[in-house]
Chain A
Amino acid sequence: MGRGLAILNWSLIGFWIMAIISVCSAVLMIANRNPVRSALFLVLGFMMQALLYLSMSAQFIAAVQIIVYAGAIMVLFLFVIMLLNIGSPEALRERGGLQAPAAIVLAIVFLLLLAGVGALGGSQINHLMNPSVIPNYGTVDAIGKTIFDPSKPWLFPFEATSILLLIGVVGAITLAKRRL
């Protein structure tokens, strides 16, 4: 694949569009004072991530991402914002001080660390450039057959997750009901 044709690589163009939109929505989410707008930018980011999952042939995960994150978790966030009535922009005044510059410095250090790890693993990443393609990858069929296969280690975590969700339901009701 020549350098000239790489410019017209549509999957790469799509990736860059989705990446820029998701990074911009993440930045706008933490730059906004109004939590409702933050939640809506977070929804945009979740949608973009679902599209990225689709581009990596993870169809089932993309659908679950939309249903669970953009649907259920976002409704929960907006409901609590409405319940506590903190939607007005002046409700929480962010104080100045050293916190924001320190956070930026720490974030830059963290990004440099990540880039260093990437550079150290560069020899592996270079041959990682061609993802392997297997048929039926990421379909409901493949995921169901993997998760319920007794010879694979996913069956027990699946059952444990159901108990965890039950504990979550009981805990949420207990917290909401009793006065602390």
Chain B
Amino acid sequence: MPAVPTSYYLGLSGVLFTIGMIGVLIKRNPIVIFMCIELMLNAVNLSFIASGRHFGHMAGQMMVIFVMAIAAAEVAIGLGIIVAIFRTKETINIDEINLLKY
């Protein structure tokens, strides 16, 4: 059975990354922004695995394992920060969290 060309996977990965980027730019809810960041990380994982399969090298899958571990740590810390901000400011609208601007 012929396999799917690597370029298809890379194209899908680019489209998913762009959708995640749009979400990060237009959403006001930091939790949904986190979901979009997860989507972008997943798109990069897809291109890693596609390239790894293409060259027949294990490095792509190794990279994906490390990206997953770091994404898990990042989500735990990020959601902890969101909960802490909500406790102090009683809002999580990203437009009203602008203390670092001043």
Residue ranges of A at the interface with B (Cβ–Cβ < 8 Å): 1, 9-12, 15, 19, 22-23, 26-27, 29-30, 35, 38-39, 42, 45-46, 49, 52-53, 55-58, 60-61, 64-65, 68-69, 72-73, 76-77, 80-81, 83-84, 86, 92, 94-95, 99-100, 102-104, 106-107, 110-111, 114-115, 118, 125, 128-134, 137-138, 142-143, 146-147, 154, 157, 161, 164-165, 167-169, 171-172, 175-176, 179-180
Contacts and interface: CB of A to CB of B under 8 A. Distances in A.
B79 to A, nearest CB: 5
Looking at chain B's contact residues, the main secondary structure is helix
Interface in B50-72: 50, 52-56, 58, 61-62, 64-66, 68-72
Given A30-B32, A131-B53, A137-B53, A80 B83 contact: yes
Given A80-B79, A86-B31, A164-B73, A128 B7 contact: yes
B49 A169 contact: no
Most buried by B among A9, A10, A35, A73: A73
B15 A111 contact: yes
B88 A179 contact: yes
Contacts of B86: 84
Contact of B7 (A1, A29, A92, A125): A125
A134 B65 CA distance: 20
A53 B68 CA distance: 14
A175 B73 CA distance: 13
Interface of B: 1-12, 14-16, 18-23, 25-29, 31-32, 34-36, 38-39, 42, 45-46, 49-50, 52-56, 58, 61-62, 64-66, 68-77, 79-88, 92-93, 95
B28 A94 contact: yes
Given A143-B58, A147-B62, A107 B2 contact: no
Given A76-B76, A118-B11, A56 B16 contact: no
A26 B41 CA distance: 13
A1 B10 CA distance: 23
Contacts of B11: 118
Contacts of A125: 6-7, 10
